[in-house]
Structure 1
Amino acid sequence: MKKIGVLTSGGDAPGMNPAIRAVVRKAIYHNLEVYGIYGGYTGLISGNIKKLELGSVGDIIQRGGTMLQSARCPEFKTKEGQQKGMEQLKAHGIEGLVVIGGDGSYRGAKALTELGYPCVGVPGTIDNDIPGTEFTIGFDTALNTVIDSLDKIRDTATSHERTFIIEVMGRNAGDIALWTGLAGGAETILIPEVGYDMNDIVDKLRKGQERGKKHSIIVVAEGVCSGVELGKQVQEATNFDTRVSVLGHIQRGGSPTAADRVLASRLGARAVELLIAGKGGRAVGIEKNQLVDYDIIEALAREHKLDHDLYKLSMELSI
């Protein structure tokens, strides 16, 4: 293999740039040419492809977002779109592709794999919802962003004796809500993987008030319900002064943490190693701090599993 490509797709995540940097520099170290595909699968279809050099990825390791830009591409879900992408790869002589992104990005890589093209998936999403890896690139940075906001909200919640609802991202996974709720000392954490009863929420709030508690923090994952609607329900049920903060896309931005930079560097470099070894149709991940790789088609057939022991602990500590 002499030429490989790299693209980022779907929602951006802090750490994508360090992953791109690792792919480019690892490939060049092994005397491969690297081509950046700009704008995700949309850029692949249109041929927005440029050769990358060492200097192309200089001074990006500390930057959030993705220098290759990203986009969602409904056209690539079709056979016609996939064929157009394949034609562009062949036209540029690109023999293998590293795809950095989340679930939708992996599905695009899976489609190319099924067409016989060597792809390696690198998990880049703040949602931490990719099967086969304990952590995804961007998750740790998003946690720190949410924790910073939660700590500041707790200050004002204490000052005004209010109940605050904080809605966080995660799609249909509760990892961001669970980890930040536990780390931030939230009184209640609502996640898609576990049902909730409004009566239980109200009961916990009232018991806290009875023992002199002046404020409460409820963290809700976006996959459960709207934070605004939940806030209305809590206010009506308790008559407590309730406020809502929807953190939104602030969670996807910012300079990646050291943990995300190191993880991205390791996973990006490993993806190149697999392509050099002639192993396409794989996805990389990390388990027990060891790099792993697995069949990308099989990976998408699995379900992401929440750490229920962590959820149990959060319940025990929020009494």
Structure 2
Amino acid sequence: MKKIGVYTSGGDAPGMNACLRAVARAALSHGMEVVGIRRGYQGMIEGDFVELKAHSVSNIIQRGGTILKSSRSQEFRTPEGRQKAYNRLREAGVEGLVAIGGDGTFAGARTFYEEHKIPVVGCPGTIDNDLYGTDFTIGYDTALNTAMDAIDKIRDTADSHNRLFFIEVMGRDAGFIALNTGIASGAEAVCIPEKETFVDDIIQRLEQGWMRQKTSSIIVVAEGDDGGGAFEIAKKVEEKIKRYDTRVVILGHIQRGGSPTCMDRVLASRLGAAAVETLQEGLSNVMVGLVNGEIKHTSFFKACKYHQTINHNLLNLVEVLST
């Protein structure tokens, strides 16, 4: 394999640039040419390619976002769109691909491989940490620390004004960010998609805290929680308990931005280099991940079909530590 392409797709995650850098430099060290594909699958369809040299990826390891940009392409969902993308790649002489993204990215890559047999290897880049086949995804640790820092600041004002804050963090289908930031920031309760939310349980916990002269509290809510999100849960709680001055904060896309942490930079660098080696070994249609400190390969089918599971012992820990 003499020429490969690399692209980022779906939601951006801190550490994507570090992964791009690793892919480019690992490939160049093996005598390959590297093409950066701008705007993910849409850029692939339009032939929006740029040659990547060692200097092209200098000074980006510390930057959030992705220098290649990202997008979601409806056209790539069609056979005609995928045929266009394949034609553009063949015209450019691209023989293999490294896809950096989440389950949507890998679902597209899997279909693309099945139809056109162009080798594709994936690097898990998503802040949700919900992909099967890796202990951690690129961007997750940075998102955790960003959310934790914001919650720490909110607790200062909560304590100053005796307020109850409901803080919504990202996690449409997975509660990893909510659960771990909730523990790290001393939240009184955590609401996640994997566990049904009972408003009466939250009220009971708040009442117990009040009896211990606890006059301010933090509730962390994942955006995909079945209770309807932070605003809806806060409304239900406020209807039944009047003694708190209640506020709602949506952290939103702040969790996607910022300079990646050391952990994310190292993880992204290892996975990016491993993806190039995987292509060289002749493997395809797989995601590279880190399991117990070792590089592992997982088929796109398994990576997309299965999901990381929540450690319910951590949910119990939230309750124990909030008493």
Fold match (TM-score > 0.5)? yes
Question: Displacement of 1:232 after TM fit?
Answer: 1.6
Q: 1:172-209: per-residue Cα shift (whole Å, max 9, x none)?
A: 10000001001111000000001111111111111110
* Structure 1: runs of 5+ lacking an equivalent: none
Distance 2:236 2:305 in 1: 37
Q: Number of aligned residue pairs: give it.
A: 319
Question: Displacement of 1:301 after TM fit?
Answer: 2.2
> Aligned partner of 1:131: which letter?
Y
> Aligned partner of 1:272: which letter?
V
Distance 1:11 1:234 in 2: 32
1:37 aligns with 37
Q: Secondary structure at the match of 2:166?
A: strand
Q: Determine which of 301, 306, 309 is the counterpart of 1:302.
A: 306
Distance 1:313 1:290 in 2: 28
> Aligned partner of 2:247: which letter?
R
Distance 1:298 1:247 in 2: 31
Q: 1:279-304: per-residue Cα shift (whole Å, max 9, x none)?
A: 11110111111111121123222233
Question: Displacement of 1:82 after TM fit?
Answer: 1.3
Q: Is the 8 A contact 1:234 1:242 kept in 2?
A: no
2:146 aligns with 145
Question: Displacement of 1:19 after TM fit?
Answer: 0.1
> Aligned partner of 1:227: which letter?
A
Q: 1:259-298: per-residue Cα shift (whole Å, max 9, x none)?
A: 0000000000000000011111110111111111121123
2:78 aligns with 78
Distance 1:288 1:156 in 2: 39
Distance 1:302 1:267 in 2: 20
2:255 aligns with 251
| 1:282 matched to 2:273 | no
> Aligned partner of 2:134: which letter?
T
| 1:272 matched to 2:273 | no
Q: Is the 8 A contact 1:231 1:242 kept in 2?
A: yes
* Structure 2: runs of 5+ lacking an equivalent: none
| 1:187 matched to 2:188 | yes
> Aligned partner of 2:68: which letter?
L
1:97 aligns with 97
Q: Is the 8 A contact 2:131 2:306 kept in 1?
A: no
1:163 aligns with 164
Identity of aligned residues (%): 55
Q: TM-score, normalised by structure 1?
A: 0.98
Note the 1:225-236 alignment, pairs <5 A. 225-236=228-239
| 1:291 matched to 2:295 | yes
110-119 or 13-22, which deviates more: 110-119
Q: 1:2-27: per-residue Cα shift (whole Å, max 9, x none)?
A: 00000000110000000000000000
Q: Secondary structure at the match of 2:41?
A: helix
Please identify runs of 4+ aligned residues in structure 1 that moved more than 3 A.
none
Q: Secondary structure at the match of 1:99?
A: strand
165-174 or 296-305, which deviates more: 296-305
> Aligned partner of 1:198: which letter?
V
Question: Displacement of 1:111 after TM fit?
Answer: 1.0
Q: Secondary structure at the match of 1:218?
A: strand
